[in-house]
Amino acid sequence: MNNPIVSQIIKIATPIAENLGLEVVDVVFQTNKRPPVLRINIRHAQGDTSLNDCEGLSRSLETSLDESQAIPGSYVLEISSPGVSRQLNSDRDFMSFKGFAVIVTTYAPYLNQKEWRGRLQERDTESVHLNQKGRAIIIPRDLITTITLDDHP
């Protein structure tokens, strides 16, 4: 379950990131750390995400976050790129990585398995379609916890 602060942070960070040519990919607020850690993963809209992109968003976002008082007390702000071995979340991810090897993890067994490996074919509103060595696998989306790129296809 997401921390309610995360949706506020997304509303604040998204327009600032877009003005810098960046996309907010993921926001995590870790309250189990002291001080809490706000991690925002970004991606450059036109190419590789650089350290300058992360630094630019950090500087631009700090004041807006402090003024909004969305996070009471002190916290650590981390801006980073999700990197290559990341989870697929957005429609853009699923279009970009069509045909790539992925690992699909379900929270409950589906056809006696909780982990599926195959090539991503598509994602629709109800399921994710994989090709497993020529065999079509269709996994219901409501069972899926994560979909990540497979580093060892």
Render 47-83 in DSSP notation, one character per residue. S---HHHHHHHHHHHHHHHHHHT-S-S--EEEEE---
The DSSP code for 87 is: B
- How far apart CA 17 and CA 67 sit, in angstroms, is 17
Domain contains 74: yes
- How far apart CA 145 and CA 134 sit, in angstroms, is 24
Residues 18 and 46 in one domain: yes
Residues 68 and 104 in one domain: no
Can you tell me which residue has the tokens 């997304």? 10
Residue 44 has pLDDT above 70, yes or no: yes
Domain range enclosing 47: 4-80
Domain contains 86: no
Can you tell me which residue has the tokens 């982990």? 115
CATH code of the domain in which 138 resides:
2.30.30.100
79, two tokens: 């801006």
Domain contains 104: yes
CATH code of the domain in which 56 resides:
3.30.300.70
Alpha carbon separation from 123 to 15, 93, 129, 143 (Å, rounded): 27, 10, 6, 13
pLDDT band at 5 (very low <50, low <70, confident <90, very high): confident
Strand positions, DSSP E, 69-126: 76-80, 101-110, 113-123
Percent of the chain with pLDDT over 90: 57
Residues 117 and 70 in one domain: no
Domain contains 13: yes
Residues 96 and 116 in one domain: yes
Percent of the chain with pLDDT over 70: 93
Residues 31 and 95 in one domain: no
Residues 118 and 145 in one domain: yes
Residues 16 and 74 in one domain: yes
Can you tell me which residue has the tokens 């790539």? 100
Count of domains for the chain: 2
User: 71-109: per-residue pLDDT in tens?
Assistant: 888 999 999 886 654 788 777 778 888 899 999 999 999
